Structure 1
Amino acid sequence: MDNWKQNLPPIGQLGPFIALLLACSFFGATADNFFSAENFSLILQQVMVVGVIAIGQTLIILTAGIDLSCGVVMALGNIVMTKFAVELGLPAPLAIACGIGVTALFGLINGLLVTRIKLPPFIVTLGTFNIAFAITQLYSKSQTVTDVPPLMTALGETFQIGGTSIAWGTLLMIAMYVGMWWWLRDTAAGRHVYAVGNSPEATRLVGIPTERVLLGVYVLAGVFYGIASLLTVARTGVGDPNAGQTENLDAITAVVLGGTSLFGGRGVILGTLIGAIVVGVLRNGLTLMGVDSVYQVLVTGILVILAVTVDQLSRKGGR
């Protein structure tokens, strides 16, 4: 019995899964058609953009940072790739690469300001939030980009499994989570991310280049924002300059609900996926119940505060 208990995951890792089970149980009992394969597939399609952004956000939060610019940087990548394809006539793969390159560049800028000038991540990304938003509006002239190439919308297409429509973008999101889970758990580079979040000074003293790790994390996060840009185009079929207005807070919510500590060094990337699904389940279930959208935001906010409170209390209890 003692060995069985020792093999159980820590309660902090089980928390997101328990929250998901409770939410599904509640809405399954109160909302019609909640427990249907099509509805669950719809929930995954609805969270795939935020879910991919949240991968990058998780990496940054694991290093005790935060990125407020992720949503609008994603929107900028969205506009760059669609306008390059539609107006400049670039082949779709090259236009997509340019969009991801722009989001990675913003990640590089964030990382350089944090590592070289030692500015707080909150202030840096608040500044780049406004810069990316302004560039997006100016470059797009606040106009939606239409008639995008079919390749850019391919991930929004679906295929059938047992009569249920599954989006290719959903599979891509899940595959990226599995890949990042393996990278963080089983590679030296992934373990360095946790080490920097736990204690940057101790990590530096053992010979790990902390600044290089931080810079790489911000650039990699930018790449994930670029992939999320493509998923946005795939889901909506257009380049939307007004996308990303709430995705930054939604991504942070998913990370916090997923059990990653805002103080860095602790968390499991798969928990972020569950956190994103929890948010999707809450909004979907409340919609099926006919609850006004403002209450959906209210419930999400309460959950975030509860999750951060639990994290803070667990840290104090561990001292």
Structure 2
Amino acid sequence: MQAADHLESGRYVSPYRLVMVDELQDASQARARLTRALVAQPGRHLLAVGDDWQSINRFAGADLSVVTGFHDQFGPGPTVHLTTTFRCHQSITDTAASFVRKNPAQVRKTVVSVHDRPIDRAAHEGVQLRTVASAAEVPRAIGDFLTQLRDAIHGGAIVADSVSVDVLGRYHQDRGLMPHAAPPEIRLAFRTIHSAKGLEADYVVIPNLSAGSYAFPSRIADDPVLALAMTGGDTYPHAEERRLFYVALTRARRGVLLISPEHNPSPFVTELIQDRLVRDVGPRPVATPRPGCRVGVLRQRSGCNGHFWGCSTFPACTYTCNTPPGPGERPSVTRSTTRRPAF
């Protein structure tokens, strides 16, 4: 703040004619003010690079509006959209982009991959979903995936001697979901999603896509003290968590494996299923999303009149039907919904 004061008052005149800022989406309002002061004199120029879809550091003061309101902050100037990715397969890019740009506050853009070819399922490309009965099954599910990649290398579906696999957790505690060992052909690493930003791997595994407090999206409230230094949040539901999920997906060059509990899936998983943006690889059937809801899924229950299907968020939602509807079908409702899910 004092540096900006010196520049704005004229007590210091910057000798630099060109100021370049990288990762603009991580800038706070204080840093934006300093940048404006550095280029306020005639003959000064600013070159800034940023991606609002990757703004994931609000807890550190980052303000999304520095990017989305760039011209309001720094004045008129040309904008060049960098819309080509040299990392991800197009199928991963399409899934990630379709998910993140639902937030109307994000800059609208279409990302095109240089790897635009049909996915090779034998090489486990694209975005896949595996459901598990409980968190205790996650290490085995990851281990099974690593074995499949090893077999694909030996069988020639993956033309390489080895591949890198990053397991990306929402929290450090997700490290406990890692398998005890990996085949020698697999270069396995665990990282949090925040620490993986800027990195990449051949394959990415996101292991804890469940609903709840220490899950994804996180429902842990920020420390109230942080609110003194933080800007007002995006009003779109789970806005920053959605961008964090986008970052996780786009660390992968070839394929992503999402692992979700069968009966308590993340609302992100439910949304991907409804939008047909993910391929189910079993071994259990994917829970059917509750019609008209992006949170709950249908579970089979028993009552005095026999079996029926109800919402997983019960008692917050009391929706029920006789049979789960297929894609595009209307459900056969036997009981009315009296309350919406508490999200």
Q: TM-score, normalised by structure 1?
A: 0.26
Query: Quick one: higher RCO (CA 8 Å, sep 6+), 1 or 2?
Result: 1
Q: Which has the larger radius of gyration?
A: 2
Larger helix percent: 1
Q: TM-score, normalised by structure 2?
A: 0.24
